[in-house]
Structure 1
Amino acid sequence: MNNVDRAPATAAPSSRDSVLPAIDLGAVLRDSVEKVLRHWLLLAVMVTGAVAVGLAYVLTATPVYTANGSILIDPRVGQTPESNAGAMPGLLMSDALTVDSELRVLTSREVTQSAARDLGLFEAAQPSEPSFARRMLGALPDFGLGDEPEQELAPETREERRTEAVRRAFTRGLRVERAGETFVIDVTYTSPGIEFSARAVNTLIEQYLSVSGRRQIASAERTQTWLAERVEELGAGVEAAEQAVAEYRTDNALLAPEGQLLPSEIALNAANEELVRLQGEALALEVQLRQLGNQIESGNIEAVQLPPEERSAALDEFETTYSQLLQEEKELLLTWDSEAPVMQSLARRKAQTRELILDEYGQIRDRLAARAETLRQRVTATRELLGELQAAYGEDARKTVQLRRLEREAEAKRQLYERLLEEYNSTSQLLTFDSTSARVIAWAVPPDSKSAPQSKRVVVLAAFGGLVVALGLIFLIEAVDNRFRRQADVPAVLGLNFLGIVPSFRSDRRRARAAAIDPGAGERLRGWRRLPAALRTFGFAASWPTSVTAETMRGLQVQLALARPRAAAGQGGTVIGITSSVRDEGKTTTAFNFANFLAARGESVAIVDLDTITCDLTRTLRRVLPEANMLPRFCENPEAAMPDLVPIEEFPGLAVIGNVPHQGTSAFGPRDAERVGRALAVLREHFDHVIVDLPPLHGVAETRLLVTLCDTLVLAVRWGATPKEQVASALRQHGLRRDRFFGALFTRVPLRRYEGYNRTEVNEYYA
């Protein structure tokens, strides 16, 4: 078998990989950095503006100061140790509720109003007495009294409303909160005054301690009064209950203490025990009599078993004699046989002794029978006594139940009395001590620095906020941007080759290092100074050979030469149409620069203005363009008109053919297209390149006819201005095939911004 090389099996992509695309984190980060760098000016302006706003706030805001103090809440204060021990299962919950309750007390109307009064805020709130404390309250001309006319209210009501308004103004700077899960409450006050903030905290704490102490004392006094009444009432009840128990015990002769047996119960228990003992003895004696009788009747004295205490001395003597006779019989059998006289005499003696033993057993049985009868009589008597005792015990038991009920009632009243008496004593002791549950662990002191505005934090947060907003705007701008920005957008959106860029001439001029290379460039520049500014831009590529525009023209010339090489002699030149999707894309300037650039490099070039609607090229050159170079005249007889073409002094080597705008019913039509086609054929025979300035694709129906007259097309797209969908829809609406286009180039490109989007694509040789 031949070995076959097999390719290593690749793991099937997981479902997660098929749903979630792979993300290059480095590329994402680089793209994000490039987006930020492209909008660095927006970022700098936003951050600088935010910092300026923060600094303005810091410089203009009124500084405020915060003083703080701390109070420790002890939930066990005011409680006895016994009550604390009983509340241990719910201690944590009760403690938390106690601290939360004290928080509400600290911010209550009573405490805050008392603190405001001690601080003199009610007097300071009078309009006739402006003071520092009044400034602490803020601007309160009407004290927050609302829209109702104050004069219609009663004086008491107006005073209450004013007092409440001042109190609310005072509490604006107050903050009371629990320190985590501890029993500590932090009290802070913020105001423009350093000393006032500390004084406000300390005054509030003092008022809280005072109110809390009064509340605790009042509560303890109310509790003590109630306990005194209950103790007196329960004392009388306990005395009455104990007296009832004593009288009932005496009347019913129930003198046994609680927990001990009654005499009738003791006698009944003894009778029960005696009956059980007698019945046991009687039963054992009956069994013994029955066994003894059966053994006597059988005559088998060896099987008779008697307890030692029942045996008699005669029985022991007879059994000893019988044992000796048996031993003597064994000895004689060794010498004599059973028929011998000696053996016969011995047998008679054994029989007599056996009879004596049986008689003795009979006497013992009679004695046991007499004892059994006596036991039966005693059992009967004991049962009769037990019945009498049971009747007596039942009566005593009923009386005992009533006695125990009276004793329990008396004991319950006694325990309640003792517990309330202890509570009364504890409450009396609490009144002699500090009964408040709060303890100050830190009084407020004047703060050594302002709490707001915090200059560094405000500036840092402002800068950070400006940075975040700027980044958000940058990414939002990038997300909604649908303009041509990158070189890759051209093949991705339009399916065309990217040919290069034509920058804005101002930025390109700053980038160029030399004004001109050829000796005649200076003369052309001096001659162009008298031309309009728009006309000067037509010769930019030829005048600035080190510019990006000139490099793009050189690249376009090389690509055309490679794509359409000249074959045999006699083959005509190339007709190149330059168009755009809409107006103001820079196609006319680009077309003329390309034609002039080729002419400056020694190529024979003609440029034809076929923008039949606007004729921007002709209008720009109207001061220097002769009448003989107009397209309608040239189309009448192209061969005859060729020698009459007048060269333009500012553009040597370049034949410029202008046009007349077509308006209304004289619009460009199919017959005109045929005449123009014949004219372009003549120009093709005399020039190496024929550059045609075509109308835009959108909004001009004639463009579909004119593009058929060109060998290839170049699409001009204004960088950063024309939406992608607009250019793509122009190509779709005219049904133009992509192979008709040589490619597309960007026009009017600001170089610095362009480099931000195409940083890896820009490579200037002359830079």
Structure 2
Amino acid sequence: MIVSEVPSSHGGMAIPRIVEILWRRKFVVLAGVALCMGLAVLGYMRSPAQYKAEAILALNVRKLQALPTESVVSALPQESPVLRTELDIISSRSMAERVLARLDHEGFTPDGRQVPAEQQLSPIANQSKPVASTPFDEDHNRSEIDKLLSNVSVMNDGRSYTIYINYRADNPEYSAAAANAFGEAYLDYQVDQQTSATRRVSDWLGGKLVSLRTTLEQSERAAADFREKSGLEKANGMTLQSQQVAALNAELANLRAKLAGTEARLSTAIEAANNHNGVALSEILSSQAILPLRAEQSRIERSILEIKQSGATQSAQLPQLNSQLASLKAQIADEVEQIIDSLRNEINVIQRQQTAVEANLKEMQYGTSAANQALVHADQLDREAAANRAIYESYLTRYKQTIEQDGIASADARMISRAVPAMSKTSPQLQTWLAMGIMGGIFLGVIVAFVLELRDRSIRSPEALESATRLSIIGKIPQLSARERKDVARMVSDGQSSLGHSIADLQANLLLSASPKAARAIAITSAGDQEGKTLVVTGLARSLSATGIRTVVVDANFRSPMIAQEFGDQFGPYIEEVIRGRQTLEAVVQHDLATSIDFVAAQTCQVPAEFLLGHEQFAKMIAELKRQYEIVLIDTPAVSSSADAIRVASLADATAFVVRRDTANMDDVVAAVTRLRADGRKVCGIVLNSVRRSGKAPRVDAPPPPIQLVRESVVKKMAGHTKSRSVAKA
């Protein structure tokens, strides 16, 4: 018995399976390639010639700085997102509008032709030319802009700040002009952006300066008026009140110092007067009244000293001189006392002055708190005025710088290579079209092949059939030509033919798969008609008969009986007459003289086949044939036609299922097998019919196997199979 493993479905479609499908559908793939190649050649012939021109721009890494001031518009940051944004700006609709206007100014028509210079209007005529604003013109301009955008390609290599502008057109001059127009329009756009930004900033600054000047004047006027009303005028950086307080503090300090000095002199004078010491005060020493008295006192004291030194102590002048000296001292003492009194008077005066100054200072300090609050408010007004002045001056400086920058705007990029008309066309290219055709054809062919494969429900492979039905293939009948079908009897008995070998293998596998009884009934059925049941039955009968096994063939296919035709019908009687009781079984069993095969023929009957096959007499007939013959082969109707095959299979020991590979439908086969199994019928295997031959013919020098050897081999296999089953049951 042929046993094959069920392929796993969890791993998806394996590569060998894909290769097998593509090889089987190779003509579909080749047809797709041929079709796409033809379409590619047709497209190449019908495609208009296209010319490509390229203009190259480079973003400026270094910025021209004409003035030592900050520019209104900063330079472009050298970053990848910024460069990507600039590419989007070049390929935008607003830029396409600029390009369209520039091309129209250069004399290019929308279809790419250039108007001769003598036919172009002058600039004055262009300005005076009326501009139509009808919906048709707007739609026309929109279509022209869309055409420009569809043909332009702006890119960057990602490693530099270089921008490549490519334009495709059917005119080389127009493609170059359009590429250059995109580059120049982008440069003009940058200059216009800077110029307009500078002018907008200058206009805004001019309007802002007017309001700032008014604010500054108001703040300065408010600060001056408040100081004037509050008496907070400043001189040498100080207010008048502050100066007065400072002067009173200085005067008070002087008075306190003067009072301390006078009190010190007074105490010194009083101490000297009490001790009768010589007074060395400046007031005493410089007194005009005391100086003569002190001179006279000194003269008298010298005279008294001379008298005493001369020893004339009893001189009459000595008392007189002492009296004069005492009188002088008394006069000096009186003068000193007057000086002391004058110092006391001076101290009193200084104290009264100090009291007055302190009172004035205290009064000034009382008024300082209110003055300080007014001063704080005045300082706040001064700060506001100073801040307004600083803002005004900064705006004024920026305004002057902005005015100076007007007219010196420069683009942040430059054109390093202008586009020139192409010498040869860029497209179409035959190699590209052919490559596209080949790839498209392969893709289309593969898709169609897999779609056909998915929709194809035929028998793709023996393995797929075994996997779907869960049955083993017990025989493979080769595909026969019309001439070979006429000589089936000889080919079955010929050991060199592929059909003979196939029938012999089927015979061995079928006998081993059937129940080991003395007589066996094997039903041969199929899912549909024209599957080759009769071919298998007759070939198997001839092979069994050739090996000496007593075999009888029963034609139970009342819808399309073929057994009588295969074995030489002797015109009855037929199986219907036995079932109806008109004939005996021995009468309907016919004998083929050529092959020594017994068969029971049938013919198309008028009554439904279900009445005959379901009759009790039909079951008795099959049971009687099983007792008389070793093998009973029953040719049944197709399972899809009716329930006839199921009724016949219930009387047989085993059922062989014939499937024709080139015409059978997988779903029908699976449904038929499932139906047989659902009714409890034993299906021993599948006989695959019309199998393509491998091309290897059997050896010519190999003699056909003797009938007795084949019979012994089959008997030994059957005995071994019976023994193995007995052991398994034990």
Q: Please say if residues 52 and 169 of structure 2, whose CA atoms lie closer than 8 Å, have aligned partners that are also in contact.
A: yes
- Distance in 2 between the 1:679 and 1:577 partners? 11
1:491-570 mapped onto 2 (5 Å cutoff): 493-506=468-481, 536=486, 538-539=488-489, 541-542=491-492, 545-546=495-496, 548-562=498-512
Residue 51 of structure 2, aligned match among 55, 65, 74: 65
* One-letter identity of the residue aligned with 2:603: V
In structure 1, the partner of 2:687 is: 745
For 1:296-445, list aligned pairs within 5 A: 387-445=362-420
Distance 2:492 2:633 in 1: 16
Does residue 192 (structure 1) correspond to residue 138 (structure 2)? The answer is no
Give the structure 2 partner of residue 695 of structure 1: 637
**Which consecutive unaligned segments of at least 5 residues does structure 1 have?**
1-21, 126-130, 135-153, 276-375, 507-531, 756-762
What's the % identity of the aligned pairs? 20
Could you say which residue in structure 1 is the equivalent of 2:555?
609
Q: 1:674 aligns with which of 612, 617, 625?
A: 617
CA distance in 2, matches of 1:766, 1:46: 42
Task: Tell me which of 111, 115, 137 is aligned to 2:102.
Answer: 115
Separation in 2, partners of 1:191, 1:89: 32
1:747 positional shift: 2.0
Shift of 1:163: 5.9
Q: Which of 653, 659, 662 does residue 717 from structure 1 map onto?
A: 659
How far off its partner does 1:598 sit?
Answer: 4.1
1:625-673 residue CA offsets vs partner (Å, 9 max, x unmatched): 432575457882443566x74535xxx4445553211234686426866
Q: Deviations for 1:368-414, whole angstroms, at most 9, x for unmatched residues? A: xxxxxxxx999999986764453343354345345434433443343
Residues 106, 176 of structure 1: 8 Å contact kept: no
Q: State the match for 2:527 in structure 1.
A: 581
Change (3 A) 1:415 1:457: farther
Q: How many residues align?
A: 575
Is the 2:465–2:666 contact (alpha carbons within 8 Å) kept by the matching residues of 1? no
Tell me what 1:660 maps to.
603
Deviation at 1:202?
A: 0.9
Partners in 1 of 2:684 and 2:520 — Cα distance? 12
Q: Could you tell me whether the CA contact under 8 Å between 1:582 and 1:697 is conserved in 2?
A: yes
**Is contact 1:542–1:600 with CA below 8 Å preserved after alignment?**
no
- CA distance change for structure 1 residues 44 and 607 in 2, over 3 Å: closer, same or farther? same
User: TM-score normalised to the size of structure 1?
Assistant: 0.59
In the alignment, residue 100 of structure 2 is paired with which amino acid?
A: Q
Output the CA distance in 1 between the equivalents of 2:493 and 2:633.
Answer: 19
CA distance in 2, matches of 1:608, 1:65: 82
Structure 1 range deviating more: 266-275 or 398-407: 266-275
1:639 partnered with 2:583: no
What's the CA shift string for 1:691-720, capped at 9, x where partnerless? 321112233343344334444321112336
Q: Report the Cα distance in structure 2 between the residues aligned to 1:199 and 1:66, rounded to whole angstroms.
A: 11
Give SS of 2:234's match.
coil
Q: Tell me the secondary structure at the aligned position of residue 107 of structure 1.
A: helix
- 1:669 match: secondary structure: helix
CA change 1:386–1:86 in 2 (3 A) is farther
Cross-structure match for 1:626: 570
Q: Which runs of 5+ in 2 are unaligned?
A: 1-7, 116-130, 253-350, 701-730
Quick check: 245-254 or 110-119, which moved more? 245-254
SS at match of 1:627: coil
Alpha-carbon distance change, 385 to 615 in structure 1, aligned in 2, over 3 angstroms: farther
**Is contact 1:539-1:597 (8 Å) kept?**
no
Q: Is the 8 A contact 2:91 2:154 kept in 1?
A: no
Letter in 2 for 1:418: E
Contact 2:625 2:632 survives alignment (8 Å): no
Is the Cα–Cα contact under 8 Å of residues 501 and 746 in structure 1 kept in the other structure? yes
User: Residue 637 of structure 2: SS of its match in structure 1?
Assistant: coil
Task: Report the TM-score, using the length of structure 2 for normalisation.
Answer: 0.62
2:536 equivalent to 1:590: yes
What letter matches 1:391 in structure 2? Answer: Y
Which one of the candidate residues 164, 168, 176 is aligned to 2:145?
Answer: 168
1:111: Cα distance to partner?
Answer: 0.6
Deviations 1:699-744 (A, max 9, x none): 3343344334444321112336545554454455456766743322
Question: Match of 1:42?
Answer: 28
Instruction: Call closer, same or farther: CA 1:26–1:210 in 2, change over 3 Å.
Output: closer
CA distance in 2, matches of 1:270, 1:37: 122
Using the TM superposition, give the Cα deviation of residue 578 of structure 1 relative to its aligned residue in structure 2, in angstroms: 0.9
For 1:658, the aligned partner's letter is A
The question of whether the paired residues in 1 share the 8 Å contact of 2:491 and 2:500 is answered with yes
Separation in structure 1 between the aligned mates of residue 199 and residue 669 of structure 2, nearest angstrom: 93
Does the CA contact (< 8 Å) of 1:78 and 1:430 recur in 2?
no
| Separation in 1, partners of 2:640, 2:209 | 107
Report if the CA contact (8 A) 1:609-1:693 is conserved: yes
Separation of aligned partners in 2, 1:646 and 1:402: 142
**Structure 1 pair 245/739, CA: closer, same or farther in 2 (3 Å)?**
closer
Between the aligned partners of 2:486 and 2:208, the Cα distance in structure 1 is 116
2:641 counterpart SS class: coil
| Helix, strand or coil at the partner of 1:584 | coil
Change (3 A) 1:474 1:102: closer
Does the CA-based 8 Å contact 2:96-2:149 persist in structure 1?
no
The amino acid that maps onto 1:615 is: P
Change in 2 beyond 3 A, CA 1:590/1:645: closer
CA change 1:449–1:764 in 2 (3 A) is farther
- Between the aligned partners of 1:701 and 1:191, the Cα distance in structure 2 is 74
Is 2:31 the partner of 1:53? no
- 1:182 and 1:470 mapped to 2: Cα distance? 44
Could you tell me which residue of structure 1 aligns to residue 233 of structure 2?
A: 254
Kept in 1: contact 2:492–2:543 (CA 8 A)? yes
CA distance in 2, matches of 1:65, 1:489: 56
Deviation at 1:55, TM superposition (A): 4.3
Q: Structure 1 residues 267, 57: CA separation in 2 closer, same or farther (over 3 Å shift)? A: farther
Whichever of the two has the greater Rg, that structure is 2
State how far apart, in whole Å, the 2-side matches of 1:416 and 1:441 are.
44
Give the AA of the match of 1:627: F
- Distance, in Å, in 2 between the alignment partners of 1:48 and 1:478 is 20
Q: Distance in 1 between matches of 2:36 and 2:84?
A: 46
**Alignment check: 8 A CA contact 1:613 1:663 kept:** no
Question: Equivalents in 2 of 1:491, 1:94: separation in Å?
Answer: 62
Mapped partners of 1:493, 1:101: distance in 2: 59
Q: Is residue 606–residue 683 contact of structure 1 (8 Å, CA) maintained in 2?
A: no
